[in-house]
Amino acid sequence: MSNLKILGFGNPLLDISANVEDKTMGEWGVKPGDIILAEDKHKPLYGKLVKDYPVEYIAGGATQNSIRVAQWMSGVPGTTAFIGCIGTDAFGEQLEKAALADGVDVQYFKQAAVETGTCGVLVNSGDRALCANLAAANCYDKAHFDSEPIQALVKGTKIVYTAGFPLTTPAGPPTIMALGKELNESGKTFCMNLSAPFIIQVPPFKAALDAALAHVDFLFGNETEAATYGEVAGWGADVGTIALNIAKMPKACGTRPRVVVFTQGKDPTLVACGGVLSSFDVPLLPKDKLVDTNGAGDAFVGGFLAALSKGADIPACVSSGNYAARQIIQVSGCKIPTYPPAM
């Protein structure tokens, strides 16, 4: 635990990836590019992929992706840990094995009532469809967070990161508020992601998000999420203006300003802090090297956090984030490269 610098809290999912034919896409009613939540009709999909195809297992879920990338980018064993909920089933064992293989100290809450969350990744002619069954990811129990081993992790880390997705689960908001309070009081860094427009658009989720924001030191998001926040808040759609406005929202810990980081794909990344808006160009990747942009945002955050944990300034953190995202979009899925990072 002595090397621990970054702790993640989120919804762990086991990505089950397979190259499939058009026939299989049709069988499950999905099209290339789809990102959907599983309905009852999709529940047999995951077992069938394993039975019918050579599948690849990847430890997934937005926060866990960022933590895995941060571990790779840090280059130091034991830099990261992750908490979330899984089931006591074969997929849970596979998820734990995959995350541990990426060097993350996973401290899952394991329960037997609901199966491990999974995401079917159907790759077809270079494109893919995602079908996510959150399942156990929705079942986190704050009693796990309050337990001695997890509290030791929280007290032993410098930075905690969570995506916005746990705000939609029963135990997510109280756990996030407890994290924010603890980190603010101990002078540590709390980072969060807007994660999805629907979190901003659904009033109970937005209320939980705004309550959490009071404790957030670094807020991440993309241009779509930023524009949605601006629209709901009545600030218009200018991403820079929205970043500046969120940065100056009330903050529980007044000793340092909030930093808001909005990525915009290949367009410049915008960072707002202390009333100043900075713009950072994104190095372009040749089109023939681009394989899959899914996971780019998660990877950016992972790279940014790894640099932040080493005391880097904002330009260096953004550069580290861009580097990590650039590596991940050259492979299918959020797969950790086998080579060490070149920065």
Decide which of 196 and 105 is more confident: 105
The average pLDDT across 81-94 equals 96
Percent of all residues in the chain with a pLDDT value above 70, rounded to a whole number: 99
- Cβ–Cβ under 8 Å, residues 297 and 332: no
List the single range of 53-57, 124-128, 248-252 with lowest mean pLDDT: 124-128
309: pLDDT strictly greater than 60: yes
The average pLDDT across 91-95 equals 94
**Active-site residue identified among 15, 105, 292, 298:** 298
Report residue 242's pLDDT band, with 50, 70 and 90 as the boundaries.
Answer: very high
Q: How far is the CA of 41 from the CAs of 38, 44, 117, 129, 138, in angstroms?
A: 8, 7, 16, 16, 20
Q: Is 240 exposed, middle or buried (0-12, 13-18, 19+ CB in 10 A)?
A: middle
Q: Which amino acid is at 122?
A: L
List the single range of 70-79, 146-155, 247-256, 313-322 with lowest mean pLDDT: 247-256
CA 265 to chain centre: 16
Percent of all residues in the chain with a pLDDT value above 90, rounded to a whole number: 83
The 10s digit of each residue's pLDDT in 171-216 is 999 999 999 999 999 999 999 999 989 899 999 999 999 999 999 9
6: pLDDT strictly greater than 60: yes
- Nearest CA-CA partner of 118 in 197, 181, 61: 61
307: pLDDT strictly greater than 80: yes
Q: Is 298 marked active-site?
A: yes
Count of helices and strands (H, E) across the chain: 13, 16
| Measured distance CA(29)–CA(18) in Å, rounded | 16
Q: What is the pLDDT of residue 295?
A: 84
124: pLDDT strictly greater than 90: no
| Measured distance CA(253)–CA(114) in Å, rounded | 38
pTM of the model: 0.93
Q: What is the pLDDT of residue 1?
A: 46
36: pLDDT strictly greater than 90: no
And the tokens for 211? 């309550």
In the CATH scheme, what architecture does the domain 6-12+62-115+135-328 have?
3-Layer(aba) Sandwich (3.40)
What mean pLDDT, rounded, does the chain reach? 94
Q: How far is the CA of 203 from the CAs of 9, 140, 208, 260, in angstroms?
A: 22, 22, 9, 22
Q: What is the pLDDT of residue 20?
A: 93
Report residue 272's pLDDT band, with 50, 70 and 90 as the boundaries.
Answer: very high
